[in-house]
Amino acid sequence: MFPNLVLLSGAPTPIERCDALAEAIGLRRGQLQIKRDDLTKLGVGGNKARKLDYLVADAVERGATTLVTGGAVQSNHVRMTAAAAAVSGLDCVAVLGGQSASVVEGNTLLDVLFGAELVFTGDDYSDDLEVAIEQVAAEREGAYAIPLGGSNAIGALGYVQAADELSNEVPTDALIVHAEGSGGTHAGLVAGFGDHGRVMAVDVGAVRDIANKVTDLAIETAELAGRPKPTGLVQVLDGQVGERYGAPTDAARSAISLVARTAGIVLDPVYSGKAFAGLIQMAASGDLADRPVVFVHTGGLPAIFTRRFSNWLVED
Ligand SMILES: Cc1ncc(COP(=O)(O)O)c(C=O)c1O
């Protein structure tokens, strides 16, 4: 489908068994593995690299010269799109929900370093940013618009490929757990496995009505990939968002600390920390029983180096 496909992500990513961590959350040795999608090789890593593998191939095939996307001021997706543009010889315009930052830090620092042009909407992050991305793209010649989080069927193909990768690495009864933002990771995995029952996503509150979005996107992605329509019902774990998208939670902070100290792996406060807190919740409730579990670490590292989160992470 994409003759120009270049794997910017460097996939396959490593997968590692985490016995001490498994025991610390009440699972048995050998029951928990972490799929290190935080170690994709594009723009300091994370899940968006796999989506950008396909989105950039599509952009190049269409003769685009500029990637236009958007997100929150500290968006990982925007940072990785900026890196993808840089490595592919394209320009990047990033539409950021919020005010121009007085301190350039974390992901925004990397956006600038990767050469992206930043456009601030002035309003907070919301689904309406989708419209702002389209508007900016309509004004630029050679623009290729990428939706929030890269979560359309083309982007989700990256996680169809990840499901195929995982199928060679883990038993068929393993439950895949990951952070749910804009839904493309979830939809791609389900389309790849062909079964909603294989995936449990932990919502972080980025998008309204996410379960319906994932259901539809998984069908659309499966069609595009030439796979059967997924069976079963979408699985989304609620209860880890806290006050709102991006708001710090005690459960995420405890999860980040535990994973760092028992596995030497760094989660982030907005996505993977909340997702791992969800996994701890599932383990504690006994729902997992003896089922093998794979936590997909989707990245997000730059957030911990912002003023907002660095002190909070080490508070007593
Ligand atoms: C670090 C990180 N983890 C998880 C996600 C969620 O992925 P998705 O948007 O595909 O649901 C995102 C992006 O939104 C992210 O940046």
Please name each of the domains of the chain with its CATH number: 15-45+152-314 (3.40.50.1100), 48-150 (3.40.50.1100)
Tokens 């069976």 found at: 231
pLDDT, position 98: 84
Ligand 1: centre distance to CA 90 (Å): 23
pLDDT, position 291: 98
- Verify whether ligand 1 is closer than 6 Å to residue 272 (CB atom): yes
Give the position, in ligand 1's atom list, of the atom nearest the Cα of 77.
16
Give the position, in ligand 1's atom list, of the atom nearest the Cα of 206.
14
Catalytic residue annotation = 75
- Verify whether ligand 1 is closer than 6 Å to residue 158 (CB atom): no
Which range (3-12, 79-88, 156-165, 295-304) has the least confidence? 3-12
- Verify whether ligand 1 is closer than 6 Å to residue 183 (CB atom): yes
* Predicted confidence band of residue 176 (pLDDT cuts 50, 70, 90): very high
* Predicted confidence band of residue 78 (pLDDT cuts 50, 70, 90): very high
- Verify whether ligand 1 is closer than 6 Å to residue 31 (CB atom): no
Pocket mutation for ligand 1, best pick of 50, 182, 215 (most atoms within 8 Å of C-beta): 182
Percent of the chain residues past pLDDT 90, beyond the cut: 92
Percent of the chain residues past pLDDT 70, beyond the cut: 99
Q: Which residues contact 180 (CB under 8 A, 6 or more apart)?
A: 186, 201, 202, 203, 204, 206, 210, 214, 236, 275
Task: Tell me the per-residue pLDDT of 98-149, one tens digit each, with 9 for 90 and over.
Answer: 888 778 999 999 999 999 999 998 877 666 899 999 999 999 999 999 999 9
Residue 296 has pLDDT above 80, yes or no: yes
| Residue range 186-193: mean pLDDT, rounded | 98
* Predicted confidence band of residue 2 (pLDDT cuts 50, 70, 90): confident
Nearest CA, atom 5, ligand 1: 181
pLDDT, position 232: 98
pLDDT, position 203: 98
Using a cut of 0.85, tell me whether the model's pTM lies above it: yes
How many CB atoms sit inside 10 A of residue 4's CB? 11
Nearest CA, atom 14, ligand 1: 181
State which amino acid sits at residue 316.
Answer: D
pLDDT, position 136: 95
- Verify whether ligand 1 is closer than 6 Å to residue 13 (CB atom): no
- Verify whether ligand 1 is closer than 6 Å to residue 75 (CB atom): no
pLDDT, position 158: 98
Task: Tell me the per-residue pLDDT of 237-286, one tens digit each, with 9 for 90 and over.
Answer: 999 999 999 999 999 999 999 999 999 999 999 999 999 999 999 999 99
Residue 194 has pLDDT above 80, yes or no: yes
Ligand 1: centre distance to CA 20 (Å): 26
